[in-house]
Amino acid sequence: MIPLRCAFFGLVPYEEATRLQERLVDLVRRGESGDTLLLLTHPPVITLGRGAHAENVVIPDDERERRGIALHEAGRGGDVTYHGPGQLVGYPIVALRNDRRDAHRYLRDLEEGLIGTAGAFGVAASRLPGFTGVWVGDAKLAAIGVRIGTGWVTSHGFALNVGRDLTGFDAIVPCGIHGKAVTSLAQATERDLTPDDVARVAGEQVAAALHYDAVWDDALLATVSGRALSSASVPGGRP
Q: What positions carry a catalytic annotation?
A: 175
Contact of 169 with 45, CB cutoff 8 Å: no
Q: Which long-range contacts (CB under 8 A, 24 or more apart) does 97-105 make?
A: 100/211, 101/152, 103/146, 103/148
Return the closest-CA partner of residue 7 out of 123, 93, 109. Answer: 93
Q: How many CB atoms lie within 10 A of CB 218?
A: 18
Rounded Cα distance between 141 and 199, Å, is 15
If you count them, how many residues does the chain have? 239
Q: What type of residue sits at position 51?
A: G
Contact of 189 with 221, CB cutoff 8 Å: no
Angle, in degrees to the nearest 10, between helices 195-209 and 103-120: 140
